Amino acid sequence: MRLVRAVLMVRAVRLVRAVLMVCAVLTVVWCTVLMVQLCTVLTVHLVRAVLMVHARVVRVPAERWGNNRRPAPRG
C-alpha cells in the first residue's frame, strides 16, 4: 500500500511540475508578445511625433516667405 501511495505521489508531483512549467512558458511568451506590442505602439507614436515636429519646423520658414516668393538676393 505504501508503495502504491509513493508511486502515485511521484506521478502527482511530476504532473504538477509539468503543469507549472507549461504555465511558466506561456507566461513568458505572453509577456514577450505584450512587450513587443508596447514597443511597437511607442515607436509608432514617437515616429509620428517626430514627423509632426519636423513638418512644423520645415513649414514655418516656408510660410514666412510665402509659397512662391524667394528671399531677396543679397548684394
pLDDT at 53: 85
pLDDT at 52: 87
pTM: 0.56
Report the 3 state secondary structure along the chain: CHHHHHHHHHHHHHHHHHHHHHHHHHHHHHHHHHHHHHHHHHHHHHHHHHHHHHHHHHHHHHHHHCCCCCCCCCC
Look at residue 59 and tell me whether its pLDDT is greater than 60. Answer: yes
Look at residue 26 and tell me whether its pLDDT is greater than 70. Answer: yes
Look at residue 20 and tell me whether its pLDDT is greater than 90. Answer: yes
